[in-house]
Amino acid sequence: MKRFGISSLLLLASLLRPAATDAQIYAKLNGLYALVGVVNPAVEFRLTDHSAFQTEFVYSPWKSINVDGQSKPMHFGIFLNEYRYYFRGYARGWYVGGNAGMMAFRMSKPYIENWGIHLENRYSKGYGFMFGACAGYERIFRKRWVFDVFFGWSWMTSFYNGYDLDGRTQMEPHRPVQPLHPDPFNGSSEWYPNKIGISIGIRIYDPELHRQRSETRRLRKAARSAASYGKTPAADRGSRMSRPVPAASGSVSK
């Protein structure tokens, strides 16, 4: 999990660098996930008047959670990239998007039963990837703040080992066809929600504003240089005029 997090951060940094020169950038945090102790920062790049690219990281630090008196692991990380299309213009309302990502996990698998979400009495440890779609509503307010509500669904493929809650490896996990010899390594693919939330963000970079500030700094620097250059000769002349003139040799003072 630690290696996955470091790799995700390095990949995120590589994505930020080339885009930072020509796109507005917003940094966001999912408040809905934060309520349950899950961290979900995101960085969104405005590409055109109707499109944007977002990269985000989801991290659940919980080694285990207590459910019905049992401790069940819920430790995972997801790195997700997403393209968005806004119908009425960037951050002016509804949008749809497509996303792709990878994940690493040590968690009990959730399932829905009797209109409730439950966790299996076992857990899996492994990795996987996902491809999905999302829809949401996003608006800019107070010039540089952004409000984003979203929901996504994806096709997830995972590879993992299964364990009992006491840590014993399940050597014969459920699968359509059992191998000749016991093998704990398993895999599965299914449709699952991959994102939901309410995020608040702030603009951290505006290329037009950056160019204006750079031009202002350049003009101020040029003005200071010109002023400094204009004062230097006069100062030199004044210093030369103020120097005492030595008396001529052989002169007699009265």
46, 38, 16: which is closest to 195 by C-alpha?
A: 38
Which helix H or strand E contains 58, and what residues bound it? strand 51-67
Cα distance between residue 110 and residue 156, in whole Å:
14
pTM given for the model: 0.74
113, 110, 4, 111: which is closest to 65 by C-alpha?
A: 110
pLDDT of 248 reads: 52
228, 138, 140, 130: which is closest to 188 by C-alpha?
A: 130
Q: State the residue for tokens 């030369």.
A: 240
pLDDT of 67 reads: 85
Query: 230, exposed or middle or buried, with CB in 10 Å at 0-12, 13-18, 19+?
Result: exposed
pLDDT of 219 reads: 78
pLDDT of 184 reads: 79
Provide the residue-wise pLDDT of the chain in tens; the chain has 254 residues: 555 555 554 455 455 444 445 789 999 999 999 999 999 999 999 999 999 999 999 999 999 898 878 899 999 999 999 999 999 999 999 999 999 999 999 999 888 888 888 899 999 999 999 999 999 999 999 989 999 999 999 999 999 999 999 888 887 777 666 666 777 788 889 999 999 999 999 999 987 776 777 778 877 887 888 887 765 444 454 555 555 555 555 544 44
Sequence ranges of the domains in the chain: 2-205, 207-237
CATH of span 2-205: 2.40.160
User: Count of residues for the chain?
Assistant: 254
82, 20, 85: which is closest to 51 by C-alpha?
A: 85
- Give the list of residues 6+ apart from residue 203 with CB closer than 8 angstroms, or none: 24, 25, 26, 144, 145, 146
Residue 97 forms beta bridges with which residues?
A: 84, 134
